[in-house]
A = this chain, B = another copy of it.
């Protein structure tokens, strides 16, 4: 029997689509770099069907590309024409909430926001949160170890997944739906799978940690004279209470997005702006920082609308439309290295192209810096030169070429800037051990 005929038999007609039935959305994630329609789109509706589909593909040596909500930014879920795409959109939903134990068991195809709402309905908080919450799916969030807005308070996705069920390339189901924070029973397969971007298998279910809903939060937008002040404010905030967001914006980034949002927040654009959220106790921190010159001006949000207005500037959703072809970088360096890193990067890019727009913003508390670069009408060669500048500076500082977006295909050639040949060889050995036929998302990450 042919591959497609076997898959149809295992998954039914609705579970195995080909040709024009597949739909255009499978071609590319949010990076917009995917071009190809795959050979088939598989939509298994159960763990048993995921297992059966992978066993068939394994037998045929058929490459499989797992897809979630296609909100990734690294090309990690984009298929080639010879690939089969596997989506868990039909295996969705919250299976159980243990309010007492503070856990939620959820299927991989569940949209993040759906899971967040279910937790809220149970009086709890699902702390994993990112801008794409309305369309990203839990499986993809786990496969990419997605970061986002609340890492400073609650940790990464990896820190919030207690148990995991995944299916290996040959269809073997590894189910460890552990619910306890402490679990030292052999190797941490859970942690290894989280962030492996679909190259080791397919996540089917997970046990996520829930937390008490935070006390009322206070939000402020602070103007600061220099980056030392940014670090000093972070230190004070952490000593003064529970910090739930600490987002720094360099002047160029803030000025552009303030304008695009049609807002006018400070009389003059300060050198640095920090969007800070704390659980209570924000005002005393601000007052002390103001007295010491760490903060030169500050706006305390008085309503949900003001909170949203601050976040709109920070999230900068209007940038992509205003600056077509905008290049987005996601790196990490030590907090103390951030300011010189930004200065040197900007200067090197502007030497390459004096008309370049270079702006920085980031989750300073997590060591995570984003860089938005715009070179009007840049060609592929120039884009590569900018990549080389940014990742070269990251390497020199021992930083990470991907803090939260993952490697996918777009950063694969730069992974060696953060990882040694010996580390890449160890990763390849693990990959070969768990996926000997090499069918899981080939060509991605390593």
Interface residues of A (CB under 8 A from B): 98, 100-103, 144-145, 147, 151-152, 155-156, 158-159, 168, 172-189, 191-192, 194-196, 200, 211-212, 231, 235, 238-239, 242, 332-336, 363, 365-368, 398-407, 415, 418-420, 422-427, 429-434, 445-446
Which residue of chain B has its CB nearest to the CB of A159?
Answer: B159
Shortest CB-to-CB span from A328 to chain B, Å, is 15
The answer for the CA separation of A419 and B365 in the assembled complex, in Å, is: 36
Which residue of chain B has its CB nearest to the CB of A236?
Answer: B212
The answer for the CA separation of A407 and B185 in the assembled complex, in Å, is: 6
Shortest CB-to-CB span from A28 to chain B, Å, is 20
**Would you mind naming 6 contact pairs between A and B with Cβ atoms under 8 Å apart?**
A174-B420, A182-B404, A183-B403, A186-B415, A186-B424, A187-B446
B419 touches A180 (CB 8 A): no
A186 touches B446 (CB 8 A): yes
A184 touches B367 (CB 8 A): no
Q: In the assembled complex, which residues on chain B have CB atoms less than 8 Å from the CB atom of A434?
A: 426, 429-430
B159 touches A155 (CB 8 A): yes
Given A100-B336, A155-B155, A334-B98, A182–B426 Cβ distance below 8 Å? no
B186 touches A407 (CB 8 A): yes
Which residue of chain B has its CB nearest to the CB of A241?
Answer: B215
B415 touches A100 (CB 8 A): no
Q: In the assembled complex, which residues on chain B have CB atoms less than 8 Å from the CB atom of A446?
A: 186-187
B182 touches A368 (CB 8 A): yes
Total identical chains: 2
The answer for the CA separation of A98 and B333 in the assembled complex, in Å, is: 13
Q: In the assembled complex, which residues on chain B have CB atoms less than 8 Å from the CB atom of A187?
A: 192, 195-196, 200, 427, 430-431, 445-446
Which residue of chain B has its CB nearest to the CB of A178?
Answer: B400
Q: In the assembled complex, which residues on chain B have CB atoms less than 8 Å from the CB atom of A200?
A: 187
Q: In the assembled complex, which residues on chain B have CB atoms less than 8 Å from the CB atom of A144?
A: 184
Interface centre among A182, A195, A423 (most CB of B within 10 A): A182
The answer for the CA separation of A187 and B158 in the assembled complex, in Å, is: 12
A419 touches B145 (CB 8 A): no
A367 touches B191 (CB 8 A): no
**CB < 8 Å neighbour of A430 from B180, B183, B185, B430:** B430
Shortest CB-to-CB span from A235 to chain B, Å, is 8
The answer for the CA separation of A230 and B254 in the assembled complex, in Å, is: 49
B426 touches A180 (CB 8 A): no
**CB < 8 Å neighbour of A403 from B168, B184, B332:** B184
B183 touches A400 (CB 8 A): yes
The answer for the CA separation of A254 and B400 in the assembled complex, in Å, is: 49
A368 touches B332 (CB 8 A): no
Q: In the assembled complex, which residues on chain B have CB atoms less than 8 Å from the CB atom of A98?
A: 334-336
B186 touches A101 (CB 8 A): no
Q: In the assembled complex, which residues on chain B have CB atoms less than 8 Å from the CB atom of A194?
A: 188
**CB < 8 Å neighbour of A182 from B189, B400, B431:** B400
Q: In the assembled complex, which residues on chain B have CB atoms less than 8 Å from the CB atom of A181?
A: 151-152, 155-156, 365-368
Q: In the assembled complex, which residues on chain B have CB atoms less than 8 Å from the CB atom of A179?
A: 334, 367, 398
Which residue of chain B has its CB nearest to the CB of A366?
Answer: B181
- In the complex, besides A152-B181, A211-B238, A212-B235, 19 extra interface pairs with C-beta distance below 8 angstroms are A98-B334, A101-B335, A103-B334, A168-B426, A172-B422, A172-B426, A176-B420, A180-B332, A180-B334, A180-B367, A181-B367, A183-B400, A183-B402, A183-B418, A184-B403, A187-B430, A191-B192, A212-B239, A426-B434
